[in-house]
């Protein structure tokens, strides 16, 4: 955007508030065995000018697809800390666009996670973070089938985005790209010989054979998650010591 020849940063805000799901989040044994309710509010700073002038969804942020991806991440990862969950969502939202896609780039994000069952009585625990795109450096690694975006890699969870080039395929169980759960971000993928449309998800575990293919003429992308089990015992958890170093790499 410009104002009398001066570049002005975009300050339009797209919000999704009151997104409710369930997530395994917590360091104590009583929290590790079952998902608990979680509420999410996000505010995305974007430049809406291209979408407004063209009328094309491809130049906007698809809030339905965004909400589906965030719910997938929260439901399939097992986070120890609310902080790690918030940072994971922020890195995903601020990562660079999919190959060949022209959707609006998110310049900054504000995320509020509410954990209503964390405290007794009517007290409610929540966490709010704000980050911009300069904070989220997401590596893109080349592969024979295309590329991999490493969104998060820490002891609690691994989140990657697989990008398949036109005509490419990969046997997931024979590669490092085998994961616990998968979510299609684009329309055109084929998983084990059957269409795997945008928004579809599957959770089979890393040892399950499956073949992912892109028979289309466009790049296609898949969001994948892993959540290793905690490595330290319940005694340390009940004593109040953290189960691992929660720093995000």
Within a domain: residue 234?
no
pLDDT tens-digit map of 193-213: 999 999 999 887 666 778 999
Q: CA separation (Å) from 29 to 104, 226, 230?
A: 41, 20, 10
Task: State the average pLDDT over residues 126-148.
Answer: 92
Tell whether the model's pLDDT for residue 220 goes beyond 50. Answer: yes
Residue 30 CB partners (closer than 8 Å, separation 6+): none
- pLDDT of 18 reads 95
Confidence of residue 249 (pLDDT cuts 50, 70, 90): very low
User: How many helices and strands, by DSSP H and E, does the chain display?
Assistant: 5, 17
Residue 4 CB partners (closer than 8 Å, separation 6+): none
Tell whether the model's pLDDT for residue 164 goes beyond 90. Answer: yes
Task: State the average pLDDT over residues 18-28.
Answer: 83
Find the DSSP H helices in 100-166.
none
- pLDDT of 109 reads 96
Domain count, the chain: 1
Within a domain: residue 166?
yes
Between residues 191 and 98, the one the model is more confident about: 191
- pLDDT of 15 reads 95
Least confident interval from 28-37, 57-66, 85-94, 236-245: 236-245
Q: How far apart are CA 162 and CA 143, in angstroms?
A: 9
- pLDDT of 184 reads 95
The percentage of residues in the chain with a pLDDT greater than 70, rounded to a whole number, is 78
Within a domain: residue 118?
yes
Within a domain: residue 140?
yes
Tell whether the model's pLDDT for residue 50 goes beyond 70. Answer: yes
Tell whether the model's pLDDT for residue 1 goes beyond 60. Answer: no
- pLDDT of 232 reads 32
Bridge partners for 140 per DSSP: 149
pLDDT tens-digit map of 222-233: 999 987 643 333
- pLDDT of 58 reads 76
Residue 76 CB partners (closer than 8 Å, separation 6+): 180, 181, 183, 201, 203, 225, 227
Tell whether the model's pLDDT for residue 146 goes beyond 90. Answer: yes
Residue 6 is classified by DSSP as E
Between residues 82 and 206, the one the model is more confident about: 82
Within a domain: residue 240?
no
Chain-wide mean pLDDT for the chain? 81
Within a domain: residue 185?
yes
- pLDDT of 28 reads 62
Within a domain: residue 3?
no
For the full predicted model, state whether its pTM sits above 0.85. no
Tell whether the model's pLDDT for residue 30 goes beyond 90. Answer: no
Find the DSSP H helices in the chain.
29-32, 49-54, 63-76, 82-94, 234-238
Q: Are 127 and 108 in contact (CB under 8 A)?
A: no
- pLDDT of 8 reads 55
- Name the residue range of residue 32's domain: 11-226
H/E segment holding residue 167: none
Within a domain: residue 238?
no
Confidence of residue 105 (pLDDT cuts 50, 70, 90): confident
- CATH number for the domain spanning 45: value is 3.30.1130.10
Q: How far apart are CA 89 and CA 109, in angstroms?
A: 10
């Amino acid at each position: 955007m410009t104002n009398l020849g001066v570049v002005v940063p975009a300050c339009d805000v797209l919000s999704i508030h009151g997104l409710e799901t369930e997530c395994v989040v917590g360091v104590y044994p009583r929290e590790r065995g079952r998902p608990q309710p979680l509420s999410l509010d996000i505010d995305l700073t974007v430049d809406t000018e291209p979408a407004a002038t063209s009328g094309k969804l491809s130049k906007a942020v698809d809030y339905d697809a965004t909400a589906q991806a965030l719910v997938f991440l929260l439901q399939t990862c097992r986070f120890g800390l609310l902080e790690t969950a918030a940072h994971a969502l922020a890195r995903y939202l601020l990562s660079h666009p999919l190959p060949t896609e022209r959707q609006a780039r998110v310049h900054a994000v504000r995320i509020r996670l509410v954990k209503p069952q964390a405290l007794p009585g009517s007290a409610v625990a929540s966490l709010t973070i704000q980050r911009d795109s300069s904070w989220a450096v997401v590596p893109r690694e080349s592969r024979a089938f295309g590329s991999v975006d490493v969104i998060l890699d820490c002891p609690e969870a691994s989140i990657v985005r697989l990008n398949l080039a036109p005509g490419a395929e990969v046997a997931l169980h024979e590669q490092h790209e085998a994961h616990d759960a998968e979510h299609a971000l684009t329309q055109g993928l084929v998983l084990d010989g059957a269409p795997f449309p945008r928004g579809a998800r599957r959770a089979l575990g890393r040892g399950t054979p499956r073949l992912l293919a892109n028979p289309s003429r466009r790049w296609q992308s898949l969001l994948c998650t892993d959540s290793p089990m905690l490595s330290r015992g319940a005694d340390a958890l009940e004593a109040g010591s953290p189960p691992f170093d929660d720093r995000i790499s």
